[in-house]
């Protein structure tokens, strides 16, 4: 503190004092102008804290609140005393304010203490302000604040506490609250803000919702269903009433209710409500998807060749289901139908169905079809082109697979070679090659669990020429023969229709020309024309007749061939 006086030339000494609240002085420092010595009075609160310079500037170290006084610089001459006062103001910046004693939660539409904002170690007094989301809280918004101040006797520093009572709303969810302290310093007014504080806002449930796990469109028989009821209040409700289809009384449970191993009769409306507010209710519709499959017949079925076997695969489901037929793991184009069973119909059939919208909902049943038949034999012979051997073939048909045994009656024959084909669709052949020196009889015996069948074939000596017998016609060749027969029948019918049309045209032509069957003695141009037309028509008829006879002959040959094949099979 500089002495605010001009030092006179006749100065004797200078002194500093301060004034007590009652106005009495307390001298604290003295300095002589001649001796240049400094003396400090015995004042305890200023011991070792004072320093007086040659120009009578007084310095006080380690400032205290108690240093806030009126100090006076005194310069004394022989005939006068000069005084200049200095008023000292002391400031202490408060610590950063804190929000303490925070409420664990706030309830909507209820006044409740939010917390305390505390500002410590300040001087002089400070002001505290509350903020919501950065905006000053207005008392008109359901805000009540109270202020308390405490002074530390030792330091004279103040602790200021502001308590906030607040009526919260749902709009305060996740909204920050802060407070600030405003104080004065040597350079003017300043403000310090606290950290943000967030509060859990409690509010009642206004709406109830129900959830289904797994998702509703994927529930199938055998599943477990979890119903979950939720309220939008905070804290959420912990208990609910669950209403099952056909049950008017609710079942008290936590927010989840589990249905195990549901069946199709569990389809219906499910509801839940609060336990204390039954009018607040939520509902959902659950469909338990199902899929039934019945295959008739199923399992292992044994039938005789030529039998009829109706097969049905009946589906019952909650939605349209897709059906697939498999035979020996190969997809079929259509449902199998057996009006006359053949060996190639045997196999493992599977009827498979599924609901594409519901994962994992599929059913399948299988039919193992066994087609049995007694052995059937047809024997054929063929002479080698070089005339040195003959090939005898025994065509065998039957299931279970017949065992073939050859017997040769006669002498002078040698079996050069034997051969057997694969067994496919109930058929195979056994073939031997011989070079008989005399006429022999070959017997083919085919035997399975059902029957023993024997057939014989006379074979001439290798030196005697004879007509070969054609091999058995395969299924594929039979189909070709049948197709050719159908084509021939079509051609014959077409020719007959053409002849009929020609006859009708001729009749109309003769009628238009007033033709009479009576003999006419005159020969004119018209007569010649009529005769020419008649001859032309007869020519067409003869040509058509030749084609018909030829095609009918072909049909007759094919018919005989098929009859021979059937006789052989029989």
Is there a single domain that holds both residue 170 and residue 217? no
Q: Over 60: is that where the pLDDT of 131 sits?
A: yes
Of 428, 459, 490, the last residue of a domain is: 459
Residue 6 placed within a domain: no
For the chain, the domain total comes to 5
In this structure, the answer to whether residues 72 and 45 fall within a common structural domain is yes
> Counting Cβ atoms within 10 Å, is residue 115 exposed (0-12), middle (13-18) or buried (19+)?
buried
| CATH code assigned at 351 | 2.60.40.10
Q: How many CB atoms lie within 10 A of CB 381?
A: 19
171 and 228 co-located in one domain: no
Q: Say if residue 4's pLDDT is above 60.
A: yes
Mean pLDDT across the stretch 318-327? 91
Same domain, 225 and 191: no
Last residue of a domain, one of 412, 438, 459: 459
Does one domain contain both 135 and 157? yes
Is residue 551 within 8 A of residue 491, CB to CB? The reply is yes
Residue 43 has a pLDDT of: 93
Contacts of 399 (CB under 8 A, 6+ apart): 305, 343, 346, 370, 371, 372, 373, 426, 448
**How far is it, in rounded angstroms, from Cα 425 to Cα 347?**
10
For the cut 80, the answer to whether the pLDDT of residue 327 exceeds it is yes
Inside any domain, residue 140: yes
Q: Same domain, yes or no, for 296 and 328?
A: yes
Q: Please, which pLDDT band fits residue 476 given cuts at 50, 70 and 90?
A: very low
Q: Please indicate, yes or no, whether residues 65 and 99 belong to a single structural domain of this protein.
A: no
User: Contact 16/41 with Cβ under 8 angstroms?
Assistant: no
- Domain assignment of residue 168, yes or no: yes
Domain with 180, as residue range(s), is: 95-202
For residue 257, pLDDT over 90 is answered with: yes
423 in a domain, yes or no?
yes
Please indicate, yes or no, whether residues 313 and 360 belong to a single structural domain of this protein.
Answer: yes
State mean pLDDT over 432-445. Answer: 91
Residue appearing with tokens 């994927």: 218
Kindly tell me if the per-residue pLDDT of 566 is higher than 90: no
Top-confidence residue, 454 or 465: 454
How far separated are the first and last CA of the chain, in Å rounded? 144
Q: Where is pLDDT greater, at 539 or 427?
A: 427
Are residue 101 and residue 191 in the same domain, yes or no?
Answer: yes
pTM over 0.95: no
Is 517 or 408 the better-scoring residue by pLDDT? Answer: 408
State whether 320 and 387 are in the same domain: no
Q: Where residue 451 falls among pLDDT bands split at 50, 70, 90?
A: very high
- Distance of alpha carbon 266 from alpha carbon 214, whole angstroms: 15
In whole angstroms, what is the distance from residue 382 CA to residue 472 CA? 12
Same domain, yes or no: 445 and 385: yes
- Spatial neighbors of 78 by CB under 8 A, at least 6 apart, are 10, 12
Q: What is the pLDDT of residues 50-103, one digit of tens each?
A: 999 999 999 999 999 999 999 999 999 989 999 999 999 999 999 999 999 999
Residue 104: φ, ψ to 5°: -65, -30
Average confidence (pLDDT) over 192-215: 93
142: its two tokens: 């359901």
Which CA distances in Å does 55 have to 4, 15, 72, 303?
A: 10, 11, 15, 138
Q: How confident is the model at residue 235 (pLDDT cuts 50, 70, 90)?
A: very high
Contacts of 235 (CB under 8 A, 6+ apart): 202
Give me the percent of the chain exceeding a pLDDT of 70: 84
- Lowest mean pLDDT, pick from 158-167, 216-225, 318-327, 554-563: 554-563
Helix axes 525-569, 475-512, angle to 10 degrees: 160
3-state secondary structure of 32: strand
Q: What mean pLDDT do residues 399-421 have?
A: 81
- In sign, the C-alpha dihedral spanning 336, 339, 343, 348 is positive
My answer on whether 79 and 99 are in the same domain is: no
Q: Could you tell me the CA-to-CA distances from 315 to 106, 292, 365 in Å, in that order? A: 60, 6, 11
Determine, yes or no, domain membership for 238: yes
341 assigned to some structural domain: yes
Decide if 549 is inside a domain. Answer: no
Per-residue pLDDT at 37: 84
Stretch 429-436: mean pLDDT, rounded? 91
Domain termination site, one of 417, 444, 459? 459
């Amino acid at each position: 503190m500089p002495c605010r006086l001009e030092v006179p030339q006749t100065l004797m000494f200078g002194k500093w004092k301060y004034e007590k609240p009652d106005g009495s002085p307390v001298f604290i420092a003295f300095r002589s102008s001649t001796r240049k010595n400094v003396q400090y009075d015995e004042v305890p609160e200023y011991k070792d804290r004072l320093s007086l310079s040659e120009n009578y500037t007084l310095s006080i170290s380690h400032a205290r609140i108690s240093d806030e006084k009126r100090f006076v610089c005194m310069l004394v001459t022989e005939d006068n005393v000069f005084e200049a006062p200095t008023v000292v103001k002391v400031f202490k910046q408060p610590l950063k304010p804190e929000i303490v004693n925070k409420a664990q939660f706030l309830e909507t539409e209820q006044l409740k203490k939010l917390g305390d904002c505390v500002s410590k170690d300040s001087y002089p007094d400070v002001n505290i302000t509350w903020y919501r989301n950065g905006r000053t809280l207005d008392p008109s918004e359901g805000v009540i604040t109270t202020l308390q101040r405490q002074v530390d006797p030792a330091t004279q520093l103040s602790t200021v506490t502001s308590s906030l009572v607040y009526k919260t709303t749902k709009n305060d969810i996740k909204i920050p609250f802060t407070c600030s302290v405003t104080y004065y310093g040597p350079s003017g007014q300043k403000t310090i803000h606290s950290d943000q504080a967030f509060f859990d806002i409690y509010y009642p449930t206004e709406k109830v919702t129900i959830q289904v796990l797994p998702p509703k469109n994927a529930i199938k028989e055998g599943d477990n269903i979890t119903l979950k009821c939720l309220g939008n209040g905070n804290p959420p409700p912990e208990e609910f009433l669950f209403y099952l289809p056909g049950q008017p009384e609710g079942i008290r449970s936590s927010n989840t209710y589990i249905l195990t191993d549901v069946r199709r009769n569990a389809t219906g409306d499910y509801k839940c409500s609060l336990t204390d507010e039954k009018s607040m209710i939520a509902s959902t519709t659950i469909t338990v998807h199902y899929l039934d499959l019945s295959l008739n017949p199923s399992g292992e079925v044994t039938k005789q060749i030529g039998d009829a076997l109706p097969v049905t695969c009946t589906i019952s489901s909650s939605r349209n289901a897709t059906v697939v037929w498999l035979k020996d793991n190969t997809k079929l184009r259509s449902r199998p139908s057996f009006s006359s069973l053949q060996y190639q119909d045997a196999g493992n059939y599977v009827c498979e169905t599924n609901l594409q919208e519901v994962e994992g909902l599929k059913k399948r049943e299988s039919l193992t079809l066994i087609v049995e038949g007694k052995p059937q034999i047809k024997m054929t012979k063929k002479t080698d082109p070089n005339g040195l051997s003959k090939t005898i073939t025994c065509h065998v048909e039957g299931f279970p697979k017949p065992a073939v045994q050859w017997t040769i009656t006669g002498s002078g024959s040698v079996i050069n070679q034997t051969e057997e084909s694969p067994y496919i669709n109930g058929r195979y052949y056994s073939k031997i090659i011989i070079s008989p020196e005399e006429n022999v009889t070959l017997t083919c015996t085919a035997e399975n669990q059902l029957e023993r069948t024997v057939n014989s074939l006379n074979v001439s000596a290798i030196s005697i020429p004879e007509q070969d017998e054609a091999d058995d016609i395969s299924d594929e060749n039979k189909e070709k023969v049948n197709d050719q027969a159908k084509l021939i029948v079509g051609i014959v019918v077409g020719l007959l229709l053409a002849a009929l049309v020609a006859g009708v045209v001729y009749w109309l032509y003769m009628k238009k020309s007033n033709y009479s069957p009576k003999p006419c003695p005159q020969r004119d141009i018209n007569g010649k024309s009529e005769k020419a037309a008649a001859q032309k028509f007869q020519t067409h008829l003869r040509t058509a007749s030749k084609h018909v006879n030829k095609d009918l002959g072909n049909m007759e040959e094919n018919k005989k061939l098929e009859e021979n094949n059937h006789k052989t099979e029989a």
